[in-house]
Structure 1
Amino acid sequence: MSAELKITLVRSHIGTTSKQRAVLNGLGLTKVNKTVVLKNTPEIVGMVQKVSHMVKVVE
């Protein structure tokens, strides 16, 4: 398993719940097509699963 995840926001947060927006802000994803590189921890993986329909993940 890779030590880092490359996460890209591919869908807008408009129309989502406040919890999903909070998760995106916690991941550092504020704009569409923004990419962040985060460590592959259980906490980050859980956050990504909450918004999996909005992001693209590459190890």
Structure 2
Amino acid sequence: MKLEIKLTRSLIGRKPNQVKTAHALGLRKMNQVVVKESNDAIIGMIKTISHLVSINEIE
């Protein structure tokens, strides 16, 4: 299963670990969308910045 991850809130003023997590997922600009394969590492990264992103499942 793949996940479509969209950065919906700004990274300005966020804690450094949250900014680094977003960058590691490939999210740098607002409303940018990346598609990642779902695994434990990606899910953990999403939980770290869950308040900044929106997630859609893709079959």
Do both proteins adopt the same fold according to a TM-score greater than 0.5, normalized to the shorter chain? yes
Structure 1: which 5+ residue stretches go unaligned? none
Q: TM-score, normalised by structure 1?
A: 0.95
Q: Aligned residue for 1:46?
A: 44
Q: Which letter maps to 2:31?
A: N
Q: TM-score, normalised by structure 2?
A: 0.95
Please report the RMSD computed on the Cα atoms of aligned residues, expressed in angstroms: 0.3
Structure 2: which 5+ residue stretches go unaligned? none
Q: Which letter maps to 2:20?
A: A
- Structure 1's consecutive aligned runs of 4 or more residues displaced over 4 angstroms after TM superposition are none
| Displacement after TM superposition at 1:54 (Å) | 0.3
Aligned to 2:36, the other structure's residue is in SS state strand
Identity %: 39
| Matches of 2:45 and 2:52, distance apart in 1 | 12
